Amino acid sequence: MRCQSLLPHARMNSAPRLALRDITKTYPGVIANEDIDLTVLPGEIHAVLGENGAGKSTLMKIIYGLVQPDAGTVLWEGRETRIASPAAARRLGIAMVFQHFALFETLSVAENIALALPDAPAPAALAERIRATAEDYGLPLEPQRPVHELSVGERQRVEIVRCLLQSPRLLILDEPTSVLTPQAVETLFTTLRRLAAEGVSLLYISHKLDEIRALCDRATVLRGGRVSGHCRPAGESADSLARMMIGAELPQTRLSANNVRREPKLVLHNLSRPADGPFGTALHALQLSVHSGEIVGIAGASGNGQSELLQALSGEATLAQADMVQMLGAPVGRLGAAARRARGLGFVPEERLGRGAVPALDLAANTLLTAAGDGLVRRGLILRPTVRRYAREIIKRFRVKCHGSHALARSLSGGNLQKFIVGREIAQNPEVLIVAQPTWGVDVGSAALIRERLIDLRNRGVALLVISEDLDELFSICDRIAVLAGGRLSPLRHTSATDSAEIGRWMAGLFPTETTHVPA
């Protein structure tokens, strides 16, 4: 699968900007990287492709000086180099755009940028440079605005401009499109192609095959911490890339028609609530109904009211009026999380460790966390053997890979923990199930299983609401889809009656404001 003759011809003579040889890094119990080779040429856009847990992040941290490899050599422009710290990386000309932006919410755009420049000029001069660079690349920015007021797209702009001001020779981008609208992705690609044309090398980390085929000159594919292949993405098909990435073709999830009687099970009626904390987003009169036997998806980047909506739905936050949330015909807006659960609500939150599960407790205790009402507690006392049996059942039904019900939640991989949490919520036979970011950071196999189980549940007549940033996922498992942007909800569309371009425009807040109800 190695295809070494892919070097762009014009740049044959120049030394590689970065070359990694036999890089190995182990953590207690895990080999994150093993004998990794990677070569990046000047002016090249080089993809590092791999699924969650393949070792991409560790490799990037090594290049950026955040992590030191256990073995192997790093060659920077032909010379062996030890990158001891991010500061050292920046001195070499390496800059990085982080997946979870490395920005300080309470500081202004200019202050955030100043922090990344070793000798930042005076505030006024810096603001001028920021404006000039931002305009030059078509990435408008207001230097004095505090970061917490910015949208996700604007935040990424701050990160990119911050890198550009360092005049980088190698720019690392870690999953840069995971939260962008399709339109914003196009703008980003234009910027990146221009940088490459100016001679900057780009390392583009992603698991999105289409993007890599559209953008990258060459790709290095990782699987299980090892290089599973080098290739030229433009010449590959999505299937051949997938085989290199996961050793099999991408599992496809399909939604088939079901004949469940459509009855509204979850209704939002003029749901409004104030922002949750100083950096939150208020919700404005949301209207929505989710019926039995369907999956409704809510698209949009986090920070547009997603966490406020989830808390309002789960009962972690109670509402001003009871009828703002109605479940099975009854107003539940003023009930707490436990009471709503008792009425048949299941909820899989976005944060797995610390919210969906308690990291330092075992899976049995984590079962008890929400399933106590399912006969696990009698007269205030915990029925320990019953709890263990219940936990073992979940582990079996959802193929959770772990050392049994005594395994600590934090010892599980992201995918297995998510299977456990989804399994625990489904095991309680909910009438309504709310799932946030069902497969975020989850390996492909687990993701497929989780989606399959959600669809099974839909076919059994449960009403499901899925909130996700992953548009592909929403289009593959949802009957109907809407967008939450700026705390407002777009009209609801059948997935077959819309496309990612329209949803992308809506994610930027451009949707008709009157909410037209689509019949279920």
Binding site for another protein (CB under 8 A): 28-29, 65-66, 68, 70, 85-90, 98, 102-107, 111, 114-116, 120, 277-278, 314-316, 336-341, 347, 349, 351, 354-361, 365, 368-370, 372, 377, 380-382, 408, 411
The minimum distance between CB 340 and another protein, in angstroms, equals 8
- Smallest distance, another protein to C-beta of residue 172, A: 12
Which one, 402 or 474, has the nearer CB to another protein? Answer: 402
Return the number of the residue (94 or 298) whose C-beta is nearest another protein: 94
Burial class (CB in 10 A: 0-12, 13-18, 19+), 368: buried
Task: State in angstroms the smallest separation of the CB of 339 from another protein.
Answer: 7
Rg of the chain on CA atoms, in Å: 24
CB of 125 to another protein, least distance (A): 14
Q: What's CA 102's distance to the chain center, in Å?
A: 15
Looking from the CA of 502 toward its CB, the CA atoms found within 13 Å total 15
509 exposure class (CB count in 10 Å sphere: 0-12, 13-18, 19+): middle
CB proximity list for 155: less than 8 A, separation 6 or greater = 101, 103, 147
Where do we find the tokens 């990291």? 359
Least Å from the CB of residue 314 to another protein: 7
**Strands of 30-40's sheet in order across:** 30-40, 18-27, 71-76, 79-81
Whole-number minimum distance, CB 485 to another protein, in Å? Answer: 24
Smallest distance, Å, CB 422 to another protein?
14
**Measured from the CB atom, is 433 or 507 closer to another protein?**
433
Nearer to another protein, 170 or 482 (CB): 170
Q: Choose between 30 and 497: whose C-beta lies nearer to another protein.
A: 30
Report the distance separating Cα 300 and Cα 304, nearest Å. Answer: 7
Query: Do residues 23 and 39 lie in contact, with contact meaning Cβ atoms separated by under 8 Å?
Result: no
Nearer to another protein, 409 or 507 (CB): 409
C-beta closer to another protein: residue 151 or 311: 311
Query: What's the farthest any 2 CA atoms get from each other in the chain?
Result: 78
Q: Which is nearer to another protein, 176 or 315 (CB)?
A: 315
Q: Are 471 and 503 in contact (CB under 8 A)?
A: yes
Beta strands of 78-156 (E only): which ranges? 79-81, 94-97
| CB 377 to another protein: min, Å | 5
Nearer to another protein, 116 or 449 (CB): 116
CB of 239 to another protein, least distance (A): 36
Distance of CA 205 to the CA centre of its chain: 13
Judged on CB neighbours under 10 Å (0-12, 13-18, 19+), 271 is: buried
